[in-house]
Amino acid sequence: MTEYTLKPFYQFNHKDISLVININNMQAASVDKQTAGILSQLSANPAPDAIFSHKQMLKSFNLLSCGKAGTCKTSPLKDGFFITNVALFLTQSCNLRCIYCYGNGGEYGKKGHMDETTALQAIDWLLDQSEKKKQISIGFFGGEPFLNFPLMKTVVASAKKKSEEKSKQVLFKVTTNATLLTDERIAFMKAHDMDVMVSLDGPRNIQDLQRPYASGKGSYEDVARNCRKLLKVMPQTHVHAVLMDDNDPGIIKTALSQLGFQSISIVTASDPLSDMNKNFKNNNKNMRPIISSMEQDADNWLIHIRERRKKGLYNAQSNSLIYPAILALFHNRKKFYACGAGLGMASVSINGDIYLCHRFVGQKKYKIGTVFNKELDREEYKKNVTCNEFCQDCFARYYCAGGCKYDNVSKWESVFQPAEDICQVKRRELELAAYVVSCLDESDKAWLINEDVLPPKPCMLDF
C-alpha cells in the first residue's frame, strides 16, 4: 500500500469562511465545516491510517504527497546570479531631511557626489557582471539624484552607447523627491523612457512634517507643483509613501490620487541602522492601520469583481497592497528569494563600492565588492528560504521568502531573521489574498483574465 504523507497547510477563518492554504503548492481554497474539522484533526494527528482514510478529500486539495520535503539548498534565481540591475548613487547628499531617513540625511555616512570616472567604470562593471543577459537596468539614486543632473546625462549617453556595442538593451530608472524637477529634466526622463518613482508621503500636513527641507521648511507645495507637471508628461509615474504613527493609509491614497497618481505604494517606516539616523527609532510600529487598509482592499476586490467594475480593478492593480499576493496564489507561484539584493541587483556608492542594495550603502558589513574589481563576496546570500530556520514553520514562507534584508537587520542585526512586524503584514496579505481567490468561480477568473486584470498563468512550455 502506498504510504502517503500530508503536505503542509494552513487553516484559518475570515468572515465566517473556512479557508485553507496549501503551503508548498501556493494554492488556496474555501472548505465546508466538516472538511475544516477533518483537516484540523489531521493537522494535530497526521497518522498514516488517518491520512489514507481521507485520501480522496486530500487529493482534491492537492495535499497528498508520496515523497519527503525538499532540503536546504543554494538554487539559482530564475535568471541566474548575474547582476543586471544597479542603483547608482549619483550623490550622497539631499536637500530634504526626512525624519525617518535611513541614510543619515541622504549622506549614508559619506557626503559627496560621484565623479565621472567612477560612474563610467560602474557601467563597464555592470556590463561585465551581466554576462550573457541581454538587458540591464540602471537606477539613479541618492540622496537626491537631480543634485548631480550633469552626471546623470553623461551616464545615460555612455550606457546607451556601450550597451549597443555589446548588443544589450539598457533601461533607466530614477527615484526622486521631485523638489528639483524642471521642464528640462522632465523632458529628459521622458525622452529616455525612464521608470520614475516619486517619494511623497501624502497630503500637505503629513508631507511637511515627515519630509521637510534641510531648512525646516515644508516641501509639499514645491513637490505637488512639480508632480502635476510631471504627470502631464509621464502619467504612469509611480509614487511611494512612507506610513508613520497612526496615519490613515486611505487618506494618503486619496491625497495622492487627487494629485493625479495612478500607481501608489505605501509602506511603514523602517528602523534605521544604529550608525545612521540615531534620532529616529520606530520600535513600536502600529501595523493596524495598514492591515485595516488591506482588509478593506480585499472587500473592494470582491465588490469590483462581482459588479464587473473594470476601472476599480485597474486601480486596484496599482494601489492594492494585496495584489501581489493575489497574483501569487492565482498563479501558484512560489518565491525562494525575497528580492535580488546582492544576487541580481546591487548598489554602487559614490566611491564605487558595491552593496547588497541601496538601503545598505555605507554599511561596511554589507559591502560585497567594488566596481574596480570583478570579484563579489556574496555566497552566503545565495541560500534560499528553504535554508532559513526562522521561516520553516511560517505558512507565508513561499510568499515573502524571508522578508527585506534591511528590515531584518534593522530589527535583529541579521539579514535572515525576519522582522516580526513585517511578518505580521505579509501573513495577513496572504490570508486576505486567499480569501479573495477562494471566492472566485471559473467565470470570475475567465473575466479577470479576459479584461487584463490578472494575467493568465504562464504555460510551463514557455520556460
Between 281 and 393, name the one with better pLDDT.
393
Mean pLDDT, rounded, for 268-293 = 74
Q: Where do the H-state alpha helices sit in 279-322?
A: 288-306, 310-319
Residue 320 forms part of a structural domain:
no
pLDDT 10s digits, 98-118: 999 999 999 999 999 999 999
| Other CB atoms within 10 A of residue 254 CB | 14
Q: H/E element holding 31?
A: strand 27-31
Cα–Cα distance measured from residue 450 to residue 444, given in angstroms and rounded to the nearest whole number: 10
Both 133 and 231 in one domain: the answer is yes
Q: Residue 463: which pLDDT band, with cuts at 50, 70 and 90?
A: very low
pLDDT 10s digits, 145-183: 999 999 999 999 999 999 999 999 999 999 999 999 999
pLDDT value for 456: 93
pLDDT value for 356: 97
pLDDT 10s digits, 346-367: 999 999 999 999 999 999 999 9
DSSP string, 388-445: -TTTTT-TTHHHHTT--HHHHHHHHS-SSS--HHHHHHHHHHHHHHHHHHHT--HHHH
Mean residue pLDDT across the chain: 92
Residue 348 forms part of a structural domain:
yes
pLDDT value for 273: 82
Range of the domain at 362: 78-286+334-418
Residue 428 has pLDDT above 70, yes or no: yes
DSSP string, 230-284: HHHH-TT-EEEEEE-TT--HHHHHHHHHHHT-SEEEEEEPPPPPTTS-TT---TT
| Other CB atoms within 10 A of residue 119 CB | 25
pLDDT 10s digits, 61-89: 999 987 554 445 555 555 578 999 999 99
Q: Residue 461: which pLDDT band, with cuts at 50, 70 and 90?
A: very low
pLDDT value for 331: 96
Both 170 and 50 in one domain: the answer is no
The amino acid that residue 406 corresponds to is: Y
Q: Is 80 left (phi over 0), alpha (psi -120 to 50) or beta?
A: left
pLDDT 10s digits, 42-64: 999 998 888 988 999 999 999 99
Contact 143, 165 (CB under 8 A): no
Both 131 and 249 in one domain: the answer is yes
Q: If DSSP codes are grouped into helix, strand and coil, which group holds residue 191?
A: helix
Both 173 and 90 in one domain: the answer is yes
Cα–Cα distance measured from residue 359 to residue 382, given in angstroms and rounded to the nearest whole number: 19
Both 199 and 240 in one domain: the answer is yes
State the total domains in the chain: 2
The CATH number given to whatever domain includes residue 161 is 3.20.20.70
DSSP 383: B
pLDDT value for 49: 87
pLDDT value for 23: 97
